[in-house]
Amino acid sequence: MDNPVLKDNDERIVWLSIIERAAWSDTETYINGQLLKVSRGCFFTSLRHICTNVNWDVKKVSRFLKRLESCHMIVTEVTSGLTHVTVCNYEEYQSNGHRSDTPDGQKLTHKEEINNKERNNIAGWDEFWTAYPSGVMENGKPRRWPKTGRGSAHGVYATVIKSGATIDQLLTAAKNYGAEKSDGQFVYNPKKFLSEGHWENWIEVKDTSDTAVFKKDWDSF
């Protein structure tokens, strides 16, 4: 996940969210009563919306977007209070290529796109998903992450891999986190676990034995 443009983990998280927001394929969306066309690798947003999502002030968000643009990572265009964002080299952040047309000139249906994603699943994802703890609900029953949550987490997983993490690191983190959360209490949503970089804290097994605690206290003197 090393990138000299991104100064800290907060900026990495925001950058990952920008990539995730970009449209997977050409589409249309309603914004303020208007039907707008959205090209692959692009999305519409506003400074206020970004500020709310990342808990930054307007000036900080504006400076960050300008830096990304000056480094040719995004292109922005403001019209009627909306910011149109284009992720440069969007294809490089995807686990597999996708063409907007078929040999017959017909666009793929949404269902076909989903099937293609599943067939071209990024290596290691199934193992990661199996190892990741499900947690429990308030009634004590095991939680089942919804399919939409799985798809969203899969997209972030692919982005994290593209950003430099290894399959072994993410799988090890999921296993260690699952062992720590064997009681199912207070388990991160898998998307949050990946996008906010929590997985980096679980690459190594945490030693919570009395000996380890004593050694830590002793070393602090």
Query: What is the Cα–Cα distance from 133 to 185, expressed in whole angstroms?
Result: 10
Element (H, E) at 113: helix 110-119
Alpha-carbon distance values, 168 to 122, 173, 202 (Å): 13, 8, 12
Q: Which residue, among 212, 82, 198, has the nearest Cα to 132 in the 3D structure? A: 198
Domain ranges of the chain: 9-93, 110-202
Answer with the residue of higher pLDDT: 150 or 152: 152
Class of domain 9-93: mainly alpha
Q: Write down the pLDDT at residue 113.
A: 47
Strands (E), 27-120: 27-31, 34-38, 42-45, 74-79, 82-87
> Which of 65-74, 97-106, 157-166 is predicted least confidently?
97-106
User: Which residues are CB-neighbours of 5 under 8 A, at least 6 positions away?
Assistant: 67, 68, 71, 73
pTM higher than the cut 0.85: no
Q: Tokens representing 11?
A: 């900026």
